[in-house]
């Protein structure tokens, strides 16, 4: 058994009805900045619920609840900088990110900029040490990213076609409020694509060189849930029990993201998402079959273990992990997605490969840039 270190500094509040914790002065107080995407909070009714609970909280400065709802589906550096500029004079005490990974990631970077009284450019482009972020509360409304428990904030910069993470312990949320019933209204496409992200987190944090016996156990638990529940949930979107299970799986993969590393698919998706402005989940789906085939010989023992533990012959009619992954993707309607389907052409492979950043060496299959190019090439071929 390898040695490992764990850090889970976020207080987790999980379960239906946990949104009412916004009225608890021991959790949140002072001046609040609510961050979300578009008018989602208003249309969904979630904003109204949060404001009711905040109105009951005697530690909240009621006139000083500020909002920033201009975050896009792939949060941009310029959006984060706009939020920082708008709120520097407001003496914000807590930044609350409500929504999918985009809203929570933006909230983390906004908290970092406000805490340091500077734009996010200093961290994103110039590598300033990530520290002194304001306290963050993360409220997921999708089951996928695990951002409520991770220490990363993934941002895009459209001017450079760059998408990468600002990472550091200061970005761990102070509280994660995970109310699975907030996900019931999520449409089928988003449910499937974010659910596939949970699957990818589980596979990659199991295969990663930075995995541990602790994170591997959580990966197995999440995979059992996702492979069983997500195909059924796709056809029964209002099933509250399955929504609860998917929220739990997503959340524990957030723990893994803070304590183990993802592998090449996540690194390779970032340029794809930045160039095409497509969702993280659909980009992963386009890359996954090629990566599993590429990586299998380098982590055969672990992949075979997943085949035996997760993908039974009775369910998947396959004894090969590569085929089983493809069959699972077919069961949720994500089979045969290619990079071409996302609007890319093969002449951009070198450009995309040059934009891949992060700890690529945590992937067992990585040797050099050619590994990245090979996966991109094979992801055009379905």
The range of the structural domain enclosing residue 61 comes to 11-183
Tokens matching residue 331: 């069961």
Give tens-digit pLDDT for 149-169. Answer: 999 999 988 877 788 888 999
**DSSP strand pairing (175-178 vs 30-37):** unpaired
pLDDT averaged over the chain? 93
Q: Say whether 165 sits in a helix, a strand or coil.
A: strand
Is there a single domain that holds both residue 151 and residue 238? no
Say what the pLDDT of residue 74 is: 87
Contact residues for 344 (Cβ-Cβ < 8 A; gap 6+): 272, 275, 276, 352, 380
Judge whether residue 131 has pLDDT over 80.
Answer: yes
Is there a single domain that holds both residue 294 and residue 199? yes
Radius of gyration (Cα) for the chain, nearest Å?
20
Say what the pLDDT of residue 109 is: 96
**Cβ atoms of residues 37 and 145 within 8 Å:** no
**Cβ atoms of residues 359 and 252 within 8 Å:** no
State phi, psi for 139 to the nearest 5 degrees: -125, 100
Is residue 156 assigned to a domain? Answer: yes
List beta partners, residue 140. Answer: 99
Residue at which a domain ends, from 126, 158, 183: 183
State phi, psi for 32 to the nearest 5 degrees: -115, 135
Say what the pLDDT of residue 113 is: 96
Contact residues for 134 (Cβ-Cβ < 8 A; gap 6+): 92, 93, 94, 95, 111, 112, 114, 115
Buried b (16+ CB within 10 A) or exposed e, 166-198: bbbebbbbbbbbbbbbbbeebeeebbbbbbbbb
Whose CA is closest to 255, among 338, 172, 189?
Answer: 172
Q: What confidence category does residue 42 fall into, taking pLDDT thresholds of 50, 70 and 90?
A: confident
Is residue 6 assigned to a domain? Answer: no
Q: What confidence category does residue 200 fall into, taking pLDDT thresholds of 50, 70 and 90?
A: very high
Mean pLDDT of 101-111: 95
Is there a single domain that holds both residue 134 and residue 59? yes
Q: How many domains does the chain have?
A: 2
Judge whether residue 358 has pLDDT over 90.
Answer: no
Is there a single domain that holds both residue 131 and residue 241? no
| CATH number for position 265 | 1.20.1090.10
Judge whether residue 372 has pLDDT over 90.
Answer: yes
State phi, psi for 210 to the nearest 5 degrees: -95, 10
**Cβ atoms of residues 189 and 179 within 8 Å:** no
Is residue 39 assigned to a domain? Answer: yes
| CATH number for position 122 | 3.40.50.1970
Say what the pLDDT of residue 313 is: 59
Mean pLDDT of 222-242: 97
How crowded is the C-beta side of 273, counted as CA atoms within 13 Å?
A: 27
Is residue 5 assigned to a domain? Answer: no
Judge whether residue 284 has pLDDT over 90.
Answer: yes
Residue with more model confidence, 110 or 63: 110
Q: Which residue has the tokens 């908290």?
A: 111
Q: What confidence category does residue 1 fall into, taking pLDDT thresholds of 50, 70 and 90?
A: low
Say what the pLDDT of residue 320 is: 86
Say what the pLDDT of residue 160 is: 79
Is there a single domain that holds both residue 151 and residue 288? no
Mean pLDDT of 135-157: 93
Give tens-digit pLDDT for 246-277. Answer: 999 999 999 999 899 999 999 999 999 989 98
State phi, psi for 13 to the nearest 5 degrees: -125, 100
Give tens-digit pLDDT for 305-348. Answer: 999 999 875 566 677 888 999 999 999 999 889 999 999 999 99
Distance, in Å, from the CA atom of 236 to the CA atom of 240, rounded to the nearest integer, reads 9
Say what the pLDDT of residue 163 is: 85
Percentage of residues of the chain with pLDDT beyond 90? 80
DSSP state of 151: S
What does the DSSP assignment read for 64-133?
Answer: EEEEEEEE-SS-BHHHHHHHHHHHGGG---EEEEEESHHHHHHHHHHHHHHHHTS-THHHHTT------P
Is there a single domain that holds both residue 72 and residue 52? yes
Say what the pLDDT of residue 56 is: 93
List beta partners, residue 82. Answer: none
Q: Say whether 319 sits in a helix, a strand or coil.
A: coil
Is there a single domain that holds both residue 31 and residue 176? yes
pTM score, two decimals? 0.94
Residue with more model confidence, 335 or 191: 191
Is there a single domain that holds both residue 334 and residue 364? yes
Whose CA is closest to 254, among 138, 98, 110, 166?
Answer: 138
Residue at which a domain ends, from 160, 183, 206: 183
Is there a single domain that holds both residue 179 and residue 219? no
Is residue 88 assigned to a domain? Answer: yes
Whose CA is closest to 352, among 295, 274, 281, 288?
Answer: 274
């Amino acid at each position: 058994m390898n040695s490992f270190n764990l850090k889970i500094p976020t207080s987790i509040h999980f379960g239906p009805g946990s949104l009412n914790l916004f009225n608890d002065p021991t959790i949140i107080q002072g001046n609040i900045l609510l961050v979300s995407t578009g008018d989602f909070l208003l249309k969904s009714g979630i904003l109204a619920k949060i404001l009711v609970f905040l109105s009951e909280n005697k530690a909240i400065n009621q006139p000083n609840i500020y909002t920033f709802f201009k975050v896009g589906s792939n949060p941009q550096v310029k959006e984060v900088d706009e939020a920082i500029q708008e709120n520097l004079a407001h003496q914000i005490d807590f930044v609350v990110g409500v929504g999918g990974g985009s809203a929570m990631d933006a909230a983390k970077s906004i908290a970092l900029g406000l805490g340091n009284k500077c734009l996010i450019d200093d961290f994103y482009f110039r590598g300033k040490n990530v520290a002194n972020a304001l306290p963050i509360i993360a409220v997921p409304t999708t089951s996928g990213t695990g951002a409520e428990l991770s220490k990363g904030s993934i941002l895009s910069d459209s001017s450079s076609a760059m998408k990468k993470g600002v990472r550091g312990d200061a970005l761990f949320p102070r509280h994660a409020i995970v109310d699975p019933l907030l996900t019931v209204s999520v449409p089928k496409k988003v449910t499937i694509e974010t659910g596939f992200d949970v699957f990818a987190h589980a596979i990659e944090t199991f295969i990663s060189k930075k995995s541990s016996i602790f994170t591997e156990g959580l990966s197995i638990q999440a995979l059992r849930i996702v492979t069983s529940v997500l195909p059924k949930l796709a056809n029964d979107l209002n099933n509250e029990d399955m929504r609860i299970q998917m929220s739990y799986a997503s959340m524990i993969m957030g723990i893994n993201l803070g304590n183990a590393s993802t592998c090449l698919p996540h690194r390779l998706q970032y340029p794809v998402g930045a160039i095409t402005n497509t969702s993280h989940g659909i980009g992963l789906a386009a890359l996954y079959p090629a990566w599993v085939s590429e990586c299998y010989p380098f982590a055969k023992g672990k992949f075979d273990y997943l085949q035996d533990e997760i993908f039974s012959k009775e369910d998947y009619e396959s004894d090969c992990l590569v085929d089983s992954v493809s069959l699972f993707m077919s069961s949720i309607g994500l089979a045969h997605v290619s990079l071409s389907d996302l609007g890319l052409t093969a002449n951009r492979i070198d450009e995309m490969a040059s934009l891949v950043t992060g700890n690529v060496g945590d992937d067992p299959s990585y040797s050099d840039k050619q590994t990245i190019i090979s996966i991109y090439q094979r992801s055009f071929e379905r």
